[in-house]
Structure 1
Amino acid sequence: MAKKVFVSGCYDLLHSGHVEFFQQASRFGDLYVGIGSDATYLEYKHRKPMFPQEERLFMVKNIKAVKDAYINEGSGVIDYLPTLDKVKPDVFVVNAEGGSEEKRKICEERGIEYVELQREPHAGLKARSSSGLKKALATASDNTTQEVGIPTRLDLAGTWIDQPYVSHHHPGWAITISLEPTFDVRDRCGLSTSTRNMIKKIWPVKLPKMDPEMLARLVFCFENNPERHDGIISGAQDAIGICVPGLARHYYNNNFWPEKIESTQDEMTLRFLEQHLVMIPLEPRRPGCSVVEGKDITPTKVKALADAADACWNAILAHDLDGFAAAYRDSFAAQTAMFPGMVNPSINGIVEGSASVQPMIDKYSAMDDVLAWKMPGAGGGGYLALVVNDSKEFANNHHEAINLQIRRA
């Protein structure tokens, strides 16, 4: 009786390298394949697969070397475990670059032989990989088949310090994340839509491929051109937050452009944020709304804002949820101490109770699974950005909540 052999992968852009791998694995016995589900693909690739799981299953099943195939029902990096336990293989085969001690240990615990194969092309054919094919497709045509649209940004801590009339009291960092527009990005809602709309005048579909900081400088200069008549200079954190992918912080010291910009693309850090951030849509800022009337900016209050941003950055990098939530709350408290209109804006010079967002803050802050909250941007309406125990669980229980997808480089 032939041995059972198991392999697992996504197999989205199916190519000759996959077929050769299947043929090599099938030499150990009858080959069974676990295929990553659409949900797993989206979680780890942060985009939908080109081919849905049913189509990928159909293609893999009809490869001569494959005995049978299944959609993996698990989640995470070991989504194949339910399939593995269903097939009960004698041999588990992986490509050498896909091997790990975790997989080796799983096989050891189940009495399965663990085999790593070097990636080799079929005789006479070029070496192929999914990442190589995607890169070639992107190079061949700059027009993608899927328009992802212009990103937006969410400020996490320290913002308002990008205005010199704030940072001249005390320098500090603003922290932002660049977001894929996976939801309806509404105007006047604190997600830098004015800057985003300016970008669309130059690049209507997507950002150009260039150095992110230089791109942010171009956007900032375009938005704040010398012929602008309203006398307002938009904060640089909007352009930087949109154009610099991943998590970024920018250091302001009495100037409109920051002295330095730091960013991280660390996958586990970005996932940490995605696992603990959601947004709640509110009414947009009303016409005639002002969040700066009644402002009270002092060195002590600006220092509190800067200190909270420092603590927030360190907690995020340490994946410290309690520390992140505490610093997030402190940053919003420092903002509203200087700009109470973020929560209670004036409408045409009059503070109206109907314009207050405090009732919504009271509602969500009282929930057990909400750890921290703030208004994005200048506040006054738009969204509540919450730190929660588990973003997916929260969105399942509160259908109005929006899960966030951070833009990768």
Structure 2
Amino acid sequence: MSNNKKVFVSGCYDMLHSGHVAFFKEASQFGDVYVGLGSDKTVADLKGRHTINSEQERLYMVKSIKYVTDAFVNSGSGIMDFKNELEELQPDYFVVNEDGYSPTKKELCNSMGIELKVLERIPDAGLPARSTTSMRTGDNCTLPYRIDLAGTWIDQPYVSKYHPGWAITLSLEPVIEYNERCGMSTSTRNAAKKIWPYYLPLEKPQKLAEILFKFENTPGSTLISGAQDAIGICIPGLVRHYYDNAYWPKQFESVHDENILDWLEDHLFMVLLWPRPAGTDLLKETYINPENVKALADAADGAWQAILNKDLSEFSRYFKRSFEAQTTMFPAMLNQEIEKVIDSYKDQALAWKLAGAGGGGYMILVDDQQPKGSMKIKIRRRETGL
């Protein structure tokens, strides 16, 4: 029953499923629900793919749901494509799921006097959890993502030539469809789709990583993508790889112990910032020297040992040190907007870093409990076959 409050929600809502309906139902408990849909162009820009259903079809279906008062296609672009509609509607609440929260949305709502409510993804009436990602591809037909935990950038010879060291990556199941240009190795993942359109083969993951690395970096490439992206996608679990003035690592070590992987899932969380702006030049100013690269390598060593010991305090310390080493060498990873978000989490998390090369993307948080507005991760195990 309407209480005359206005509720705004926004999303793609492609391949409508029970999870979407449950979300609209829960949102309707706060008032009349108005839905802003991302345009076909916005979805393509953010997700790197075309929608299954056009914006006209998606609009027709969403409007047909009884929990929805009205729906429209957002007029803007990017992750804030709804800004014009929000200003016109002036809702009382903006409702999002955990993976739809971002500090930028929170800041906008605060400036407009709108209450931002973050809901958990809970299936309705005993139904199984659903996601558009799983429906689009089916079981075992979707490629992993990766996050870098420590030491990364050392997979570039122009870094490791000053001091050898390990990079640590974690392979993730695609429980959500992460945005493009957000530090989740989406460009390498898109290259992988050309070789394996639906799923990775199960055998010889290290060899698969090498194939992917060579496929993405064709002879004559002027900018070589680091091997850590291909390795994080192709090799399941927790992996570290050792670089010494070469593009391909000399050693690999993997962890598949369930206790350690569960521990990481309990203490690593992610928050969406925004896609890295086009034209961002991370190499315009660098401070790559033996002292700074050694700090990066030492931080990765400390982080690895802390993970094996499941020592949260030490892991947080070296996780933060690794990020500090990265941003010391590549200051363009940070900007005032990112530093502002980091400041907002300093009282909520033990440590933080940006996924990937920075400039935007996802922020990875370490803490003993899930920070408000963050989402959990799901580590890809060997047994899943993904």
TM-score bucket of the superposed structures, by smaller chain: 0.5 to 0.7
User: Which among 158, 162, 166 is matched to residue 165 of structure 1?
Assistant: 158
Distance in 2, Cα, partners of 1:227 & 1:182: 35
Distance in 2, Cα, partners of 1:190 & 1:233: 16
Distance in 1, Cα, partners of 2:260 & 2:140: 26
Counterpart position of 2:167: 174
**Matching of residues 361-400 of structure 1 within 5 Å:** 361-367=342-348, 370-391=349-370, 394=371, 398=372, 400=373
- Call closer, same or farther: CA 1:295–1:54 in 2, change over 3 Å: closer
Task: Say if 1:148 and 1:181, in contact at 8 Å, map to a contact too.
Answer: no
User: Which among 173, 184, 187 is matched to residue 191 of structure 1?
Assistant: 184
User: Which among 336, 341, 358 is matched to residue 339 of structure 2?
Assistant: 358
Counterpart position of 1:125: none
**Matching of residues 301-320 of structure 1 within 5 Å:** 301-320=292-311
Distance in 1, Cα, partners of 2:313 & 2:145: 26
**Matching of residues 260-409 of structure 1 within 5 Å:** 260-344=251-335, 353=336, 356-367=337-348, 370-391=349-370, 394=371, 398=372, 400-409=373-382
Deviation of 1:321 (Å): 0.4
Distance in 2, Cα, partners of 1:282 & 1:148: 28
Deviation of 1:54 (Å): 8.5
Distance in 1, Cα, partners of 2:293 & 2:190: 30
Deviation of 1:199 (Å): 0.4
The one-letter code matched in structure 2 to 1:358 is E
> How big is each residue's C-alpha offset from its partner over 1:318-347, in whole Å with a ceiling of 9 and x where there is no partner?
000001000000000111110111112xxx
Deviation of 1:192 (Å): 0.7
Task: Say if 1:295 and 1:338, in contact at 8 Å, map to a contact too.
Answer: yes
The one-letter code matched in structure 2 to 1:407 is R
**What's the secondary structure of 2:190's corresponding residue?**
helix
The one-letter code matched in structure 2 to 1:317 is L
Counterpart position of 2:227: 236
TM-score (norm 1): 0.59
> How big is each residue's C-alpha offset from its partner over 1:259-289, in whole Å with a ceiling of 9 and x where there is no partner?
0011010000000100000000011111111
Deviation of 1:197 (Å): 0.4
Deviation of 1:148 (Å): 5.0
**What's the secondary structure of 1:322's corresponding residue?**
helix
Identical aligned pairs, as a percentage? 53
Distance in 2, Cα, partners of 1:340 & 1:227: 28
Distance in 2, Cα, partners of 1:405 & 1:366: 25
The one-letter code matched in structure 2 to 1:287 is A
Task: Say if 1:183 and 1:402, in contact at 8 Å, map to a contact too.
Answer: no
**What's the secondary structure of 1:290's corresponding residue?**
coil
Counterpart position of 2:24: none
> How big is each residue's C-alpha offset from its partner over 1:42-75, in whole Å with a ceiling of 9 and x where there is no partner?
xxxxxxxxxx9789xxxxxxxxxxxxxxxxxxxx
> How big is each residue's C-alpha offset from its partner over 1:237-257, in whole Å with a ceiling of 9 and x where there is no partner?
000011110000000000000
**What's the secondary structure of 2:274's corresponding residue?**
coil
Distance in 1, Cα, partners of 2:166 & 2:138: 37
RMSD over aligned Cα, in angstroms? 1.7
> How big is each residue's C-alpha offset from its partner over 1:10-51, in whole Å with a ceiling of 9 and x where there is no partner?
xxxxxxxxxxxxxxxxxxxxxxxxxxxxxxxxxxxxxxxxxx
Task: Say if 1:190 and 1:382, in contact at 8 Å, map to a contact too.
Answer: yes
The one-letter code matched in structure 1 to 2:231 is I
The one-letter code matched in structure 2 to 1:390 is Q
Distance in 2, Cα, partners of 1:276 & 1:217: 30
Number of residues of Structure 1 aligned to a counterpart in Structure 2? 250
- Call closer, same or farther: CA 1:270–1:148 in 2, change over 3 Å: farther
Distance in 1, Cα, partners of 2:308 & 2:176: 26
Counterpart position of 1:60: none
User: Which among 116, 128, 148 is matched to residue 155 of structure 1?
Assistant: 148
Q: Which has the higher contact order (CA 8 A, sep 6+)?
A: 2
Deviation of 1:366 (Å): 2.8
Deviation of 1:145 (Å): 5.5
Distance in 2, Cα, partners of 1:145 & 1:179: 17
